[in-house]
Amino acid sequence: MAEFNYDLVVIGAGPGGYEAAFDAVKYGMKVAVIEKDRVGGTCLNRGCVPTKTIMRSSELAKEAREGAKIGVNAADVKVDLDAVRARKDEVLDTLREGIETGLAKAKIDLLHGLALVKDEHTVSYTDREGESHEVTGKFILIATGGNPFIPPIPGAELEGVMDSTELLEQGGTPFDDFVIIGGGVIGVEFATVYNGFGSHVTVVEALDRLIPTVDKELARSLKMSLQKDGIDVLTKCPVVRIEQADGRLAVVYTEKDEEKSIPADAVLMAVGRRSDVPSLLSEQLQHLAGERGRLAVNEHYQAASPSIYGIGDAIGGIELAHTATAEGRNAVAHMNGQEPPIRMETVPTCIYSVPEIASVGISADEAKEQGIEIITKKYAMGANGKTVLEDLGRGTIKLIADADSHILLGAQLMCGRATDLVGELALAISNKLTLEDVASTIHPHPTFVEAIAEAAR
């Protein structure tokens, strides 16, 4: 491979990119990673980790305000968003330092700059000083994630209208009235955070329900739970414009063909993310970009030019950090003529609402569409001791199994610690365990996880 500078050039140092690089080194590959910003990608810098870090502060604020019911009285709870942001930055710095140390230890070259794939083996990049460089690789892996999508709504450019990246940098005190446009995962999680901070939050969604990718029953329960916590949820209400009114913002939407307005001190645009793959490809490689500007790949994550691979948000699909990581490892294995080490048929999804939502495998609706006869098992978390003593409210675990074999096919959870519990169910589904296998395994008491065994029974 002496004809190339590297065996693998990875574009993007997010979870998909840097984990793929680590795996490539284990195969004996010489690797470079090109990153235009900071290591960690969207997940670490602008997504999962900072959101969950400020969510921890939000949870503590809410618990303090509500502590009287469990015998703890905390008067005059105040939230200092400058301090919240400072802690968030400290967490991110620590994790970024760990990634950079790992890359250096693995002898992976970290190159800072904005990349352009010139041809099947050549990548140029412009560094922070504006100087252009060029490297070559036997393989190129595009792992660049995506960016917040801002829809063409009049008034979206007004001061106080933000995307999720901008919101994470907010300091000062929480907004009094906060409107979130978009009832997907990002919108719901930020609604939870700012409700915990004490803001009056309104979520406006054009579709008929929140988070259309989750089980319908869970979506209905989520809406009721948010409303119970004081969050206003408007569905089937497309936003038509944002305007200034009386020194504040006003979000104008339609409900049953009637225009209505909500006052706001700030507005979050949370309507999804878009890939920026076309900007990474030279003119001669633009044909590799498929639907919605994503890189078109086969089942091995390989583009039409076989030396170029893509993973994560760059190719679409289930746009989660752990999905990108798994795809990256499988792509590197394919480059080296090996079977994929990660099974992709069971990808857990997690939503950090209150209560949390998690799912893996298929839902009852999906089983029906596929003509699979199933049985459904449910367990109400109100009977779980750990849930009751931690005052985590109501919740449900629902298991879907094949009607004949009782092999577990899917699970949907809406309860405290759902995002931690789903891992066991992913393992059970991947290994084709039955309800009886799960039920016959001793689970510790008192714990949240024992509810899984109870559901299986």
Q: 296 and 359 in one domain?
A: no
Domain hosting 68: range is: 6-148+274-336
Tell whether 155 is covered by a domain. no
Residue 1 has pLDDT above 60, yes or no: no
pLDDT digits (tens, 9 = 90+) for 192-249: 999 999 999 999 999 999 998 888 888 999 999 999 999 999 999 999 999 998 889 9
pTM, two decimals, is 0.92
CATH for 190: 3.50.50.60
Question: How many domains does the structure of the chain reveal?
Answer: 3
Residue 443 has pLDDT above 60, yes or no: yes
CA of 46: how far to CAs of 219, 280, 354, 425, in Å? Answer: 25, 20, 21, 29
CATH for 376: 3.30.390.30
Q: 238 and 126 in one domain?
A: no
Single residue among 246, 271, 296 that ends a domain in this structure? 271
Q: Which residues of 159-173 are buried (b: 16+ CB within 10 A; e: fewer)?
A: eebbbbeebbebeee
Residue 447 has pLDDT above 90, yes or no: yes
The confidence score (pLDDT) of residue 441 equals 97
Q: 224 and 206 in one domain?
A: yes
pLDDT digits (tens, 9 = 90+) for 362-398: 999 899 999 999 999 999 999 999 999 999 988 999 9
The confidence score (pLDDT) of residue 2 equals 61
Residue 181 has pLDDT above 60, yes or no: yes
The answer to whether 12 and 41 have CB atoms below 8 angstroms apart is yes
Tell whether 342 is covered by a domain. no
Single residue among 336, 357, 389 that ends a domain in this structure? 336
257 Cβ neighbours under 8 A, 6+ residues apart:
none
pLDDT digits (tens, 9 = 90+) for 79-138: 999 999 999 999 999 999 999 999 999 999 999 999 999 999 999 999 988 899 999 999
Q: 264 and 203 in one domain?
A: yes
Q: 234 and 108 in one domain?
A: no
Residue 156 has pLDDT above 90, yes or no: yes
The answer to whether 410 and 403 have CB atoms below 8 angstroms apart is no
Tell whether 452 is covered by a domain. yes
Single residue among 305, 336, 367 that ends a domain in this structure? 336
The confidence score (pLDDT) of residue 305 equals 95
Binding residues for NAD(+): 182-189, 205, 272
Over residues 292-298, mean pLDDT: 91
Residue 146 has pLDDT above 90, yes or no: no
Render 10-22 in DSSP notation, one character per residue: EE--SHHHHHHHH
Q: 208 and 332 in one domain?
A: no
Tell whether 214 is covered by a domain. yes
Binding residues for FAD: 52, 313
Residue 38 has pLDDT above 90, yes or no: yes
Tell whether 153 is covered by a domain. no
Q: Which residues are catalytic?
A: 445
Binding residues: 52, 182-189, 205, 272, 313
Q: 278 and 140 in one domain?
A: yes
Output 242-248 pairs: Cβ under 8 A, ≥24 positions apart.
242/153, 242/154, 242/155, 242/156, 242/158, 242/161, 242/267, 243/154, 243/155, 243/158, 244/155, 244/158, 248/177
Retrieve residue 136's tokens. Answer: 């070559």
Q: 110 and 166 in one domain?
A: no
Residue 415 has pLDDT above 90, yes or no: yes
Tell whether 343 is covered by a domain. no
Tell whether 64 is covered by a domain. yes
Q: 192 and 253 in one domain?
A: yes
Residue 76 has pLDDT above 90, yes or no: no
Tell whether 154 is covered by a domain. no
Q: 325 and 223 in one domain?
A: no
156 Cβ neighbours under 8 A, 6+ residues apart:
150, 242, 269
Integer Cα distance of 412 and 52 in angstroms: 21
